[in-house]
Structure 1
Amino acid sequence: MVIYITIILAFVLLQLVKETYPRIHSIVYTIYIFLFLTYIFTVLIIPYVSQYISVIPANLLPVFKLLLFSVVLLFLSKIIEELFLDYEYTSLASLFTFTTKAILLIVWLNHMQQFYDKFLSILGLLS
Structure 2
Amino acid sequence: MIVYVTIILAFCLLELVKETYPRLHSIIYTIYIFLFLTYLVISLIIPFVTHYFSIVPVALLPVFKLLLFSVLLLFITQIVEELLSEYEYTSLATMFTFTTKAIILLAWLQHMKQFYEKFFSVLGLLS
Q: In the alignment, does 2:43 pair up with 1:71?
A: no
Paired residues, number: 127
User: Aligned partners of 1:86 and 1:4: how far apart in 2?
Assistant: 23
User: Aligned partners of 2:106 and 2:42: how far apart in 1?
Assistant: 27
**Letter aligned with residue 70 of structure 2:** S
Pairwise CA distance, 1:46: 0.3
Pairwise CA distance, 1:21: 0.2
Counterpart of 1:53?
A: 53
The TM-score, its normalising length taken from structure 2, stands at: 0.99
User: Aligned partners of 1:44 and 1:53: how far apart in 2?
Assistant: 15
Cα displacement string for residues 56-88 of structure 1 (whole angstroms, at most 9, x for unaligned residues): 110000000000000000000000000100110
SS of aligned partner of 2:88: coil
- The runs of at least 4 aligned residues of structure 1 exceeding 3 Å deviation read none
Aligned 1:47-126 pairs, distance under 5 A? 47-126=47-126
Structure richer in helix, relative to its length: 2
The two structures, once aligned, show a CA RMSD in angstroms of: 0.4
Structure 1: runs of 5+ lacking an equivalent: none
Structure 2: runs of 5+ lacking an equivalent: none
Aligned 1:25-36 pairs, distance under 5 A? 25-36=25-36
User: Aligned partners of 1:86 and 1:19: how far apart in 2?
Assistant: 19
User: Aligned partners of 2:51 and 2:103: how far apart in 1?
Assistant: 27
The TM-score, its normalising length taken from structure 1, stands at: 0.99
User: Aligned partners of 2:98 and 2:76: how far apart in 1?
Assistant: 13
Identity across aligned pairs (percent)?
A: 71
User: Aligned partners of 2:85 and 2:46: how far apart in 1?
Assistant: 28
User: Aligned partners of 2:75 and 2:51: how far apart in 1?
Assistant: 21
